[in-house]
Structure formats: structure tokens, C-alpha cells
Amino acid sequence: MVESQAKLRDLKTGLQLLLKILSGYRSIALISILGALIWMAMIVVIPYLVGSIVDEAVTARDTSAIWPILGIMLVAGAIQALGIAMRRYFGFKLSYRAEADVRNRIFAHIQRMAFNFHDTTSTGELMARASSDLSQLRLILSMLPITLANLAMFLVVSAVLIVIDPVLGLTASLMVPALLLTSGRFASRVVGFSFDLQARLSALSHVVEESISGIEVVKSYGQESRQLDRLEEKAEVIYDSSMSMARERAIHRPLFEIIPALGTVAVLAVGGIRVVDGAITIGEFVSFTQYLAVMVLPLMITGWFFANLPRSAAAASRIDILLETAPEIADPRRPVHLPQGPGQIELRHVSFAYPDGTAVLEDVSLTIPGGTSVGLVGVTGSGKSTIAHLIPRFYDVSDGSILLDGIDIREISLDQLRSEVSVVFQETFLFSASVVDNIRVGDALASDEQVRSAARLARAHDFICAMPDGYDTVVGERGATLSGGQRQRVSLARGVVRDPRILILDDATSSVDAVVEAEIQEALRQVMSGRTTLIVAHRTSTLALVDNVAFIEDGRLVAFGPHDTLLREIPRYTEVLAAEESVVG
Amino acid sequence: MSSAGDYRVERPGRLTARAARLSTGLGWPITGALVVTLVATIVRLLGPLVIRGGIDDGIAADDKQTILIAAGVYVGLLVVQYFVTAASQWSVAYVGERYLVQLRSVVFSKMLRLDMGYFSRTKSGVLVSRMTADIESLQEFASDGAVMALSNLLTVVGVAAALALVDWQMALAVFGVVTVLLGVSVVFQRQARKAYDMVRERIGRVLATLQEGITGVRVVQAFTQESTQASTFGRINERHFEANMAAARAISWYFPVVAFLRVVAMVVTLGIGATRVIDGSMTVGTLVAFLLYLDWFFQPIINLSNVYNLLQSALSALAKLFEVMDEDVAVDERHGAYDLPDPVRGAIVVDGVAFAYNPAVPVLSDIDITVSQGERVAIVGETGSGKSTIAKLMMRFYDPSSGVITLDGADLRDLTISSRLDAMALIPQNGFLFAGTLRENFTYARSGATDEDVWRVLEVMGIDDWIRSLPEQLDTEVRERGSRFSAGERQLVALARAFLADPSVIVLDEATSNLDPETEIKVEGALRALLSGRTSIVIAHRLRSAEKADRVIMVDAGRIIAEGTHNELVDGSDAYRELVEVWQRGLA
């Protein structure tokens, strides 16, 4: 009971959302609806004309009466065609335009959502909002004009029939609810099974993918038949699901012919007797049969529309929830302009905890003088990366504050803050674009020369030039494959191309092997010189490059000072370094 | 996604005939489906004739009883029609779905039988899409298209026959209009397909960009590229919108034209019909029956033109599937192959072997290796030296271009596949796990193994504590590709799996990447247990493995350049010494 009430509420909010979206495209929607109404009017007129031919020409035995009526009928046919064209074209335009606009909004919104949102929301879920949910929405929007016209048509046709003859009209009108219910029921049941089917198809495709990527194992143990068994098992359940759908089709589809035919039988029996009794003319009888014929398809479509409505309303409300979720990190209302400065960073009693309350940093105070470099050292989970993420405001501190050249970073606009703070992540993400475009992500206005010098600084220039298209080589998921070290150097170039005041290297060298590490060391030395740099690091070789080390344990700053000093004075520091070193090898 | 649309279908007749030959065991269901569909169509076509009778002999003759009789007959017909139509729907779907089950199995078993050469030549995405996207487009045709095609085709033919029987002159006039409709439909289908191919391509780009925008969101924000990204996306999205609108234009003219043609057909029918009813050469009932038949002409033709699309994709999918079926199996069991004689000793001889994937580029030449029973041989060399290929030849993933490889004196090519594989196991670089439980993965190569067998092996390998520490122990789900576990842990499972298979010969392709120290120690212990008492060939990537081997073979550019114990080679081979130095540097 409660569930169905909740469903009803969802449906209501979903419908309101649909209308809200629709209101943005009022004129397109109106043209489409107008077209639908024209079409509907002609649907009503044409069977009437058929009846008049029978009465005024055939029954009256007047051949000359045929031609004017047929002429009118052709004109009505042409107007009807125009109405259909308007209805369809603008119906499509409405739905495609709305789909494209909402998709743009979703994308822009996703781009603005803060890190903690993305930490807890899967890519698949967001993709579903912008693809399958949106398609569902579009489908229903494109059907809206025709459905409105159909509803109007059922009313008008029923009224016309009842006016012509109340008994016969009421009998024939019974077809309307019967077909609506049948097609609604059919659509909702088939949709349910088709979801099952989709899930089962994807289970089968997992078996196939697994067999192919593990083919060496399959073949070296001679287990082909075992994989085949697994596939056949999946194929059988797909068969079951498909046959359930086939059963629904077998039960319902014939009804779409039978119900209108029963209507025709009723017209034949009741109408025939009324003709014999002289209550209606034979022409009116013929138009009745015609009305029944033209209503069948619209009735089926309308039933389908209402069966899909709840699903679309649910999709609409899911999209709305996403769009209404505000990003947790946003610009201050009145941003303070950050003046030129040396790049001094000050953490004042900084604490940070996850939304679930797990404390990560506790009361960390630390001043990093402008132009110096700091290594952040600690075991996994100590909170060292968190410090790196707080400075560009990927997350906000739970308590305390962080100052950049004396100004609280929450008072600076995100644009300015992040243009002064460059981050090179551990996971190097490159876009499917050319190398030069990937580096320009760091600074859209960088000249070719600036891009090259950043690449040189990051020791990437040589291997970029060695690639077939040099800086124009497309990389990323759909482009050339770069090694881990190469990717790392491209993203380093991206980080330094804008010549940021602060550079943060988040474990940027952990995934490369010893040879590449040595190459990157040299690049690091160059980019760090004269720039405030924070570097999350494990390797002694990297720590030898920095001015100071901040040693973090359990979310607290344990020591701050030059690497050598810490090595000498803090035994635990040496221990942690040794453990990290051996793991990385 | 493979786009079936742009694949040209050659010789559709031959394809269909070949597809039909695969329908073994479905003879009776197919016959049954055809018969019920035919009956359903005939019953459907009788309806308007009953109405004609009711009008002419009942209404026109002022005979109420005949009207009621006609109505009664019609109701009876409809009851029959309901059941035969339902039976037709169900039986055609049954045939199609059963056929697909068989097809999936036939294609997949052929795919699995293909040699490793095929798998390395063909992108895995393509192989997967044969079994998914391609068969699914057949599925769409089987579940919905086939019955539509069959019943609509029969209806059109039946209506044409019925019209011609009722009045052939009027029928001819109507056929004229229908011919125009057919032409229009063909043009429309062509345009719509082109338009939708474009839509499909562009939605692919939209989704790819969207995904990239989501996975790269942290970088985007770090460099405040949100608005640049949004405008790039907006452009790609707009191109998809434009493609959609082009498709909308292509289909927006079709349905109005069809609707207009329907009115034209009515006008023609009424013009001729009414004149003839007036001059007495036709009854009103016939005219009404004619009008009713007209509808059954138009809707089926529209339906058929939709089915035509499904049919096209189904045929092009079939063509691609038959390509797989026609692929030669390069490595197969020879006729008259025999079982490896018991007891298996596990001695391997590689004699004068040369190999090339592509005749122009030799990978291995003049390879002679003798591995005696229980010996451990390490093969070392740089990436691309051909050392992994030697392992693959020993597993008979490929056959040598010349020369011979023997196991216990028997040419690998003369042995039955099952007996050879019982004696040998390959452990690839990355421990590959199948989705399922740990138990299923351990017993992958020996499905009869009991839990006790598994635990005994785990104990011998020294990893029973680890498995016991998992809350669900052997029932632990490893998840897709074993993502529940680290690389090292997956390797451990793969080793245990090999142990349970209990082969005499183990070919181990060592992992290149480093494991964390704790796991590394576990892997070493497990490996020691696994290799003891067995012949082993280790494709070695680290110093320790070479040191431990009885003999080291160094391969360079497809040839053996040095052979001996580790110490002998360190003294005698400059190339080997260099390799050892690189290894040592990596450790430091």
C-alpha cells in the first residue's frame, strides 16, 4: 500500500518534471499538437465521406454525386498528410531538442560536481542518467502530441458515433477501453521481460569475454567444453526469457485484430438490424465500419504510451535528482582576488574527516615557505594524499583553514585558485586527443612554444617527437598506446605548462619502473626549482630532491624538516621509508 | 558495437540456404509453424466475406435472421482466428529461439576450437561482438521479425488474391496504388537506413565523450576545464541532434505519403465501386468488403518494410558468423592421433624448430632444446627475443614451421589433444581467474576434485592459511577476472589450479611486474612445491628464477645464443652477464 502510494507520488513528480521540460519548447510542441489535431479532424471526416457516397450516390442511384465527394475526400487526404507530417516532424524535433539540451545540462553538471560526489557515484550510474534514462524521457516526449490528439479523437469519434446512432455508437465505442487495456497490459508485461532479457544477454556476453581473454588458460587445460557448457547454460536462460515474451505476444497480439473485428461484428449485427428497421442508413452503417478500422492503431499506441509513462516519469525524476544536487564545493559569493605572491602555503589547525565521520587529518599546522619543496611521507592511509587534495579545494577542510599567500583558499574563486595550483595525479588520465591538446588542458592559451618547453621540462619532448605525428599524435583510449612512464611525463608537462605558483605531485611516480623513475627524477628536479612543490613520495631518491619532509602518521604531523635530519632523528621515519621502499622494489 | 548496417550482404539466397541447413532437428516445428500461420491468414481473410454476405443477403434483403447468422459465423471465425494466430506467433518464435540456442552453441564451439593464432590475429572486441551484437541482431529478427515477415507476407498475398477473386478489375486499379506504395517504401527504407547509421555512429561518439568526461573529471576540475569540456561535449551532442533531425526528415515524409495513398486507394475503390453498384454489376457488400481488405493491404506493407531492416541486419550478421565457421583450424587433432602412453615421464625435445607467424618475419630458427624428466630449465632473453614463443610451441598453441617437438618421444602433432593436455600445463604471466568461486577456479582443470583434495594441495603449497583467513573460504567469489584479489593472489590461485591438474610438465611464463614482498615470498614457496618432481620450463624475468634453474638457455633474435648453468653463463657469456646486471640494478 505504502509502496503504491510512493509510486503514485513518483509518477506525479515525474509528470510535473515532464511538463517542466516540455514548457521550454512550447512553440514546437504546439505546432506538433496542431498537426495532430488536423490529422485527427480528417480521421473523423473521411469515414463520414465514405458513408455519404453510399447514401447520396449509391442508394440515390446518382452517379454524378460520386465525383464531388471523392474530390473532397482527396483534399481531406492531402490535409491529413500535412497534419501527419507536422505532427511527426515537430514531435521528433521536440523530443530530440529536449534530449540534447538535457544531456548538455547533465554533462555540465557532472563536470561541476565535487570529488566526494564522484568518489561515491559510479561511472555507470552517471552514464545511465545521460543515456538510457534520457532515451526513456525522449520516447515519451515524442509520443506526447500524438497521444493528446488520439485522446481527443477517441472522444470525438465516440461522440460522432453516438450522435449518428446512440445504440450502435455505444456498442462500437466499447472497443476503445478494451483495446487500451489490452495494449497497456501487453506493453507493461513485455517491458518487464525485456529487462530480464537484457540482463541475461549481458551475462552471456560476460562468459564470452571471459573465455576469449582467458583463452590461454582454457586451451592449456583443454577446457573448451566447459566454457561451451557455461555458454549453453546462459543461452538456455535467454531462451526461457525470450519464450516468456513470445508467450505474451501470442496471448495479446491476436487481440489487436480480434477486438476491432468483434466491434465490426457488433456493428454488423446491431447496425444491420437498425438499417433494416430504418433507424440508420446503409451509408451510416458503412462509415461505422470505417471508423472502427481507423481507430485500431491509435488505440494501440495510446495503450503503449500509458504503459510506459511510469517508467519515463521515474527516469525523469532520477535525472532531476542529479541536476538538483548542488556541488559541495563552489565559488565564494564574493571572491577575493589573489595578488601576486611567492606561493606560501599555511595549514592552520587543519582537520579533515569523511562524510561518514572517519577522521583522516587531525589538527595539522604547517607552513611551507614560497618557492620551497616539501615531500609528504607516511604509510598508506596516513592522510598524506589528503593534504595534497585539500590545497586545490578538491575537498574542503572539516576544521581549521588553509591559506595561500595569506588568503584563505575558500575566499578565492575556484578558477583562480586552481590556475595557481597544478596537480599531477597518480593515475595519469589522458583524453582521447592529440598530445598537444592534452598538454593544453593545463593552459588552453599556451602557445606551441610554451607547450614544447613544458614537454622539454618534463622530459617528454624527445619521445613525443619520435611518434609518427609528433605533437599531433592522438593518445588516450582511442589513440596510440603510451607506456606508463610516457603517460606520466605528458601529464607532468600538462601540470607545468601554465607555470603554476604551486605544483602538487600526488604519488606521480609510484607506477613506473626503476629505469623510467631515473628519467623522471631529472625532470622533477627541473620543474621543482624555484616553485612551491608538494610531492607525495616513497622513494629515497625522490626525497633527496626536496627541501623539507612532512612526516605524517595517523593523520597527524609528526615531524617537519630536511630528509637527512629526519633520517637521523626519527627512527620511525626510517622504518616507514624502508617498508615502502621494499614494496615498490 | 558492430554496425550491421554498413555490411554488404552478398548472395542472400545462399546465406539463407546455409542458415537453413543449420536448423537440424527443427523440421517438424518449422512445418508446424508454417501450417498454422497459413491457416491463420486464411481464417483472417474470410472475415470480410462474411460481412459481405451479411450486408447483401441480410441488410440489403431486409432479413434480420441472416444478419444474426452472419454475425454468429463471424464470431465463430474470430474464436478460431484467435487461437491459430496465437499458435502461429508462438510457434514461429519457438523455431527462431531454438535455432538461436543451437547457433550460439555451434559458433562458440567452433570459436573455441580455433587456434591461438586466430585469437592473436583477431581483436577480442570483434570476437565478442560475433557472439553478442551479431547474434542479438538475429535474435531480434527471430523473436519478432520472422513472424511479422511471414504473416504479413501471407496477408498481402492473400488479400491480393481475395481482391482479385472478388472483382479483378477493381483489384487491378488498387494494385496500381499499391505499386506506388511499394516503390515509396523501398526509397524510404534506403534513406532511413542511411540516416540511422549516421545516428548510431554519432551517439557512439556522444557516449564515448561522456564517459571520458566522467572518468577524467578530476583532471578537468584540477585544471578548471569544466566549461571547455562542456562546450566540446555540446558540439558533439549537437551533431548527434542534427543526425537525429536528418533521420526525422527522412521518416517524416513517408507516413504522410502512405496515409495519402491509402485515401487515394479508397477514392479509386469508391469511384469504381460506387459506379458499378449503381449500374448493378456489384453489391454494396462487395464494396464494403473491398474497403475492409484495403486496410489489410497497407498495414502489412508498412510492417514488411520495417521487417526488411531487421532482415538485412540479420543476414549481414549471419554472413559474419559464417566467416567464423569457415575459419580453418590450424592446430587440430590429426586423424589417427594416439594417447600419450603411460606412465608419462615428461621429457621434451625441441628438434631443429623454426617458426614464423608471418612467413616474411621469422621469429625462431634452429631451436634445439632437450629437457629431461624432472629437469628445470629457464629460458631468458630480452622482450621480443622469441622466448615466449618457445613456450607457446611447447603447448602446441602453434605448430612449428619446420622441425619437430616431442613429448616422451612422440611428436606433439600425433598425440590426442586431451592426453597431451593432461600431461602439460601452461601458467601464463598474469593469473587469469574465471568469475565464480575460488573452489571453481582451483578445480578448473579437474572438476572431480573434492574439497579435501583442494585443501591438501593448498597445504602443500603453503597457502591454506590465506584461504582459511577469507570469511567464505573456498566459496569466496573472485568476481570478474578475479578483481577481488591482488595480482599476486591471483597468481597463487593459478598455481594451485595447475597443481590440482597434476601435470608432468609445467610451462611457466613468469610475471614481469613486481609483487609486494609478502606475496612474493608466498608465490615462491608455492612455486617450489608445484615444480618439485616435475619437468619445468620457466620463461624467466628475474635473476632468482635463473639462478634456481638446473639449466639456463639464453635466446636472442630467435636463436639460442648460450646454454648452461647460471654460473657457467655468467662466466662464459657477455650477453648473459649484461642481462644479469640489468636485473641487479632493478633490485637496487
Strand partners, B536: B376, B506
Residue B76 near residue B60 (C-beta atoms within 8 A): no
A441 reaches B (C-beta below 8 A) = yes
Say how far residue B548 (Cα) sits from the centre of its chain.
Answer: 44
Query: Could you tell me the three cell numbers for A463?
Result: 619521445
Q: Pick the range with the lowest mean pLDDT from A167-181, A360-374, B233-247.
A: A167-181
Rounded to the nearest angstrom, the minimum Cα separation between B276 and chain A is: 9
Average pLDDT over residues A358-378: 88
Q: Do B89 and A254 touch (CB under 8 A)?
A: yes
B139 or A395, greater pLDDT:
A395
A261 reaches B (C-beta below 8 A) = yes
What are the residues whose beta carbons fall under 8 Å from the beta carbon of A30, sequence distance 6 or more? none
pLDDT at residue A38 greater than cutoff 90 = yes
Q: Do B101 and A232 touch (CB under 8 A)?
A: yes
pLDDT in tens, A422-452: 888 777 778 878 888 888 888 888 888 889 9
* Measured distance CA(B286)–CA(A294) in Å, rounded: 20
CB atoms within 10 A of CB B247: 21
Of A78, A444, A582, the CB nearest to B228: A444
Q: Where are the alpha helices (DSSP H) in A66-222?
A: 66-112, 115-120, 123-128, 134-164, 166-173, 175-213, 215-220
A165 or A507, greater pLDDT:
A165
Assigned CATH class of A2-324: mainly alpha
Q: Do B226 and A70 touch (CB under 8 A)?
A: no
Dihedrals phi, psi of A404, to nearest 5 degrees = -110, 120
Average pLDDT over residues A197-220: 81
Strand partners, A345: A368, A404
Residue B321 near residue B130 (C-beta atoms within 8 A): yes
pLDDT at residue A1 greater than cutoff 80 = no
Provide the chain B residues 300-329 that lie in CB contact (below 8 A) with chain A. Answer: none
Fold equal for A2-324 and A345-584: no
The whole-number pLDDT of residue B587 equals 45
Residue B503 near residue B495 (C-beta atoms within 8 A): no
Ordered strands of the B376-380 beta sheet: B424-427, B505-509, B535-539, B376-380, B551-556, B559-564
Provide the chain B residues 68-127 that lie in CB contact (below 8 A) with chain A. Answer: 68, 70-71, 74-75, 78, 81-82, 85-87, 89-90, 93-94, 97-98, 100-101, 104-105, 108-109, 112-113, 116, 119, 124, 127
Q: Which residues of B539-566 are buried (b: 16+ CB within 10 A; e: fewer)?
A: bbbbbebbebbebbbbbbebebebbbeb
The whole-number pLDDT of residue B3 equals 37
Of A89, A127, A213, the CB nearest to B124: A213
Q: Which residues of B392-405 are buried (b: 16+ CB within 10 A; e: fewer)?
A: bbbbbbbbbeebeb
Q: Which helix (H) or strand (E) holds B550?
A: none
CATH of domain B1-166+306-330: 1.20.1560.10
Tens-binned pLDDT, residue by residue, of chain B (588 aa): 333 333 445 667 788 888 878 777 888 888 898 899 889 888 888 888 888 888 888 888 888 888 889 889 999 999 999 999 999 889 888 888 888 888 888 888 888 888 887 887 777 777 887 888 788 888 878 777 887 888 888 888 888 888 888 888 888 988 899 899 888 888 888 888 888 888 888 888 888 888 888 878 888 888 888 888 888 889 999 999 999 999 888 888 888 998 899 999 999 988 988 888 888 888 888 888 888 888 778 888 888 877 887 787 788 888 888 888 888 877 777 788 788 777 878 788 888 888 887 777 778 888 888 888 888 888 887 766 777 888 888 888 888 888 888 888 888 888 887 788 888 888 877 777 777 788 888 888 777 778 888 788 777 777 777 777 777 787 777 766 666 666 677 888 888 888 888 888 888 887 655 555 566 677 777 788 777 778 888 887 777 777 788 888 888 878 888 788 887 877 888 877 777 776 665 543
The whole-number pLDDT of residue B257 equals 92
Compute chain B's Rg from CA coordinates.
35
The whole-number pLDDT of residue A476 equals 67
Give the residue carrying C-alpha cell 500535412: A82
Rounded to the nearest angstrom, the minimum Cα separation between A516 and chain B is: 11
Residue B347 near residue B408 (C-beta atoms within 8 A): yes
Which CATH architecture group holds A345-584? 3-Layer(aba) Sandwich (3.40)
* Measured distance CA(A269)–CA(A192) in Å, rounded: 39
Give the type of residue at B227: S
Reported ipTM exceeds the 0.90 cut: no
Q: Which helix (H) or strand (E) holds A559?
A: strand A556-561
- CA distances B526 to A343, B500, B517, B518, Å, are 53, 13, 14, 13
pLDDT in tens, A277-310: 888 888 888 888 888 878 877 887 887 787 778 7
Q: Closest chain B residue to A277 measured between Cα atoms?
A: B62
The whole-number pLDDT of residue B78 equals 92
What are the residues whose beta carbons fall under 8 Å from the beta carbon of B1, sequence distance 6 or more? B129, B133, B200, B204
A116 reaches B (C-beta below 8 A) = no
Provide the chain A residues 81-110 that lie in CB contact (below 8 A) with chain B. Answer: 81-82, 84-85, 88-89, 92-93, 96-97, 99-100, 103-104, 107-108, 110
pLDDT in tens, A467-513: 888 888 888 655 556 766 778 888 888 888 888 888 998 866 555 55
The whole-number pLDDT of residue B481 equals 65
**How do the domains of chain A map onto residue ranges?**
2-324, 345-584
B226 reaches A (C-beta below 8 A) = yes
Provide the chain B residues 441-480 that lie in CB contact (below 8 A) with chain A. Answer: 444-445, 447, 480
Mutate to test the interface with B, among A104, A215, A414 (most CBs of B within 10 A): A215
Ordered strands of the A407-408 beta sheet: A359-368, A345-353, A399-404, A407-408
Of B139, B211, B586, the CB nearest to A514: B586
Residue A243 near residue A250 (C-beta atoms within 8 A): no
- Residue A245: Cβ-neighbour burial (10 angstroms; 0-12, 13-18, 19+): buried
Mutate to test the interface with A, among B131, B440, B479 (most CBs of A within 10 A): B131
Rounded to the nearest angstrom, the minimum Cα separation between A510 and chain B is: 12
Mutate to test the interface with B, among A220, A234, A504 (most CBs of B within 10 A): A220
What are the residues whose beta carbons fall under 8 Å from the beta carbon of A139, sequence distance 6 or more? A95, A308, A312
* Measured distance CA(B158)–CA(A51) in Å, rounded: 27
pLDDT at residue A76 greater than cutoff 90 = yes
- Topology of the domain comprising B348-587: Rossmann fold (3.40.50)
The whole-number pLDDT of residue B238 equals 92
B56 reaches A (C-beta below 8 A) = no
Query: Could you tell me the three cell numbers for A20?
Result: 517542466
Asked if residue A254 has a cis previous peptide bond (ω within 30° of 0), the answer is: no
Query: Could you tell me the three cell numbers for B380?
Result: 631468458
pLDDT band at A585 (very low <50, low <70, confident <90, very high): very low
Q: Pick the range with the lowest mean pLDDT from A107-111, A380-384, B34-38.
A: A380-384
Q: Do B263 and A282 touch (CB under 8 A)?
A: no
